[in-house]
Structure 1
């Protein structure tokens, strides 16, 4: 059970950004009897807020509402330099995020999972580990369920496994989870953070205020970068002294004792082996039974939108990797398939990334690339040197049709966009679902 949490900064509360987490935060505050005012620069569906009696302002910057509040609760999609956020800071308001709000109001142990890639898989896997061990658990955060929805509705003995993005972590003030995992850090969201260093620093907020009673898990390569006072637990090669260690013979050990063969892990690929080792590290460090951890790693089947097999048509496999919203994730996906067999669908919002590192893998693994969305031209220019046929098809319908017509038995049509979805879809889930529908209709 967690220790005491700091009190919330005082209200009234101005909740800025009324997507999923903002709505949940406003409803949670309202249910506590606090005055919550919601504002959004767009016109999202706020039916639930209005039905509850929450004051809402839409298509509005919100700067005129700052004088009515003492605390601003910022949704992760709202940038730090938004006028309303700047005005709140200038006026001396506390500015917190939805994860910080929930953490202060929930007595449960938190396991925060962060990193550039693998967060959702590792979060869901940790939920599976706890369920396999018969331990109460709920999975929330960036993975889909806004964590503030759990306030007043969760067994205090349950562990919350919370996928936390850099956007969420940069809005923390006192957040100190009982355990935290940093899987990896590669360039992503540079359009928001500006530099890789600033992006990494946002991730490290998960560890910065941890105490000696906490657990901090990361790879051996990143261990020296972790701030905070928590116990360090590492995963990686045995030669590097990892706590959860992969040996040359393909076995995995925990603190020197055999755990399982890497080949037994139920989700394929070296990236998933690292995700599984990270999940094992935090679970074992927190006292979960090793036999349950082993069984869970064997039986876990993966998550939607992450190298998810959709169908096979005339010997061609269709795979949904819509969650691959950065270059590194698409590289991981391409390495999962045989040379020359991939018909890659890529594109969307570029997020200030360098796509050039994709070119060697595209040259090696792809039969063709089908470019969609806002980033098509930029990606095409970066891949021109690959010598692989590039088709600027514009949208998903044309991409699936063209790839399906060209693919031969034994090949794969892979949606792995390397980009955000917001030019053509509300989120990566909607993009992946559209891909699935198009494949199922063929």
Structure 2
């Protein structure tokens, strides 16, 4: 385990930062907990608290900066730490240093949460001790001191979490897919790709790298296992869609590498219902299916959702905070009978792509107006789909809040 300094600065005090501060204090380090938001909740954080404007003096005598995934590289604390030569680590890296458990790390542009949750269900079906953590909502550092060292940790890893790892070495590392995303944060697809592939860089010959069939050579020295959507599986997954069969194939490959038996894998595939906010059927109202895919925060994810309803006329709610992507592939995937309802900051850019492809659309501005318009236009057998292809932060605090608002609005229709 890499040593933990006596004094550490934690930057960002939401869920990950709070967990990191608690793990460091339990380890015996002095902690300075900083957040630029002066109104952030700091109740219960055992640390020296600093909020608001950054002061470089907070780095004095500190040997490490731990940053939450939402903190960009150019933020003042990170830039100042780099200038002083102080190491910067993600909360995931800190967790990897403090935990001796074997880790299954799962990354990719789309499907991470579904695959992580499915793997957790497979371990549960096998009666094998395992914890699910990471980008799925439970900070990795929250497991420090709370989990048996023999338990597997199934950890969803975003590019934001992987961009500042150093010693992280998953026993099994899974890359689901790699498509343009978060270019607004990373600056280029090449930088985004490099962050994702860091999941493999410390793996050795005794480890396993699970990747799509035909994927390019990887960093690290792990044994390579490939998967594909048409792989034979011990059972067909309950969750619909070709993309989810691909997710299931990756989960099966990882589970086999961890020594899980075929019977438990089959049982979990048959029973696993999927995750919230990802092609989640909310209700059928007057013969119209309402589906919450708020987790589709990029074009590639929305394309997977559109392909999940062959033969149905779609009423798709699109828009939010864009990520500098082209919306032309989205427009090309919509048919002449489909209709789009645009919301949020990216509505103008999406409209231009839809207009060029002769796809019908209306500007609705807000989610409530979009749902009302879709209800008026939809007929029995149609699907009203929230699959925004954009982040949520222009109108909502998270994709979860956006999905929950969609659920509320649909329930009101009933």
Question: Which bin holds the TM-score, normalised by the shorter protein?
Answer: over 0.9
Q: Would you say the 8 A contact 1:266–1:299 is kept in 2?
A: yes
Q: Report which stretch shifted further, 281-290 or 64-73.
A: 64-73
Match of 1:298 in 2: 270
TM-score with structure 2 setting the length: 0.97
Aligned partners of 1:208, 1:387: CA distance in 2, in Å?
A: 45
Q: Would you say the 8 A contact 1:108–1:160 is kept in 2?
A: yes
Q: Would you say the 8 A contact 2:172–2:257 is kept in 1?
A: no
| Count, aligned residues | 413
Deviations along 1:196-241, one digit per CA (max 9) or x if unpaired, are: 111111001100110111111011121x33211111111127xxxx
The one of 158, 164, 169 aligned to 1:165: 158
After TM superposition, give the deviation of residue 63 of structure 1 in Å.
Answer: 3.2
Match of 1:131 in 2: 124
User: Relative to 1, partners in 2 of residues 1:318 and 1:62: Cα closer, same or farther, differing over 3 Å?
Assistant: farther
User: Relative to 1, partners in 2 of residues 1:52 and 1:84: Cα closer, same or farther, differing over 3 Å?
Assistant: closer
SS in 2 for 1:100: helix
Aligned partners of 1:45, 1:145: CA distance in 2, in Å?
A: 19
Deviations along 1:32-85, one digit per CA (max 9) or x if unpaired, are: 22111111112353333xx34322122223434222422110111111122221
1:153 aligns with 2:153: no
Match of 1:46 in 2: 41
The one of 243, 254, 260 aligned to 2:234: 260
Match of 2:227 in 1: 235
After TM superposition, give the deviation of residue 313 of structure 1 in Å.
Answer: 0.3
Aligned partners of 1:52, 1:435: CA distance in 2, in Å?
A: 33
Match of 1:388 in 2: 359
Match of 1:59 in 2: 52
Unaligned residue ranges in structure 2 (runs of 5+):
none
Aligned partners of 2:401, 2:39: CA distance in 1, in Å?
A: 16
The one of 149, 173, 177 aligned to 1:180: 173
Aligned partners of 2:39, 2:269: CA distance in 1, in Å?
A: 39
1:401 aligns with 2:372: yes
SS in 2 for 1:205: helix
Q: Kindly report the root-mean-square deviation, in angstroms, between the aligned alpha carbons of the 2 structures.
A: 1.5
Match of 2:288 in 1: 316
Aligned partners of 1:285, 1:154: CA distance in 2, in Å?
A: 22
The one of 283, 296, 314 aligned to 2:255: 283
Match of 2:317 in 1: 345
Match of 1:99 in 2: 92
Match of 1:420 in 2: 391
After TM superposition, give the deviation of residue 268 of structure 1 in Å.
Answer: 1.2
After TM superposition, give the deviation of residue 7 of structure 1 in Å.
Answer: 2.4
Match of 1:111 in 2: 104
1:437 aligns with 2:405: no
Aligned partners of 1:44, 1:155: CA distance in 2, in Å?
A: 36
Match of 1:240 in 2: none
Deviations along 1:323-362, one digit per CA (max 9) or x if unpaired, are: 0000000001111113561110011110111111111112
Match of 2:334 in 1: 362
SS in 2 for 1:38: strand
After TM superposition, give the deviation of residue 6 of structure 1 in Å.
Answer: 2.5
Q: Would you say the 8 A contact 1:18–1:44 is kept in 2?
A: no
1:7 aligns with 2:6: no
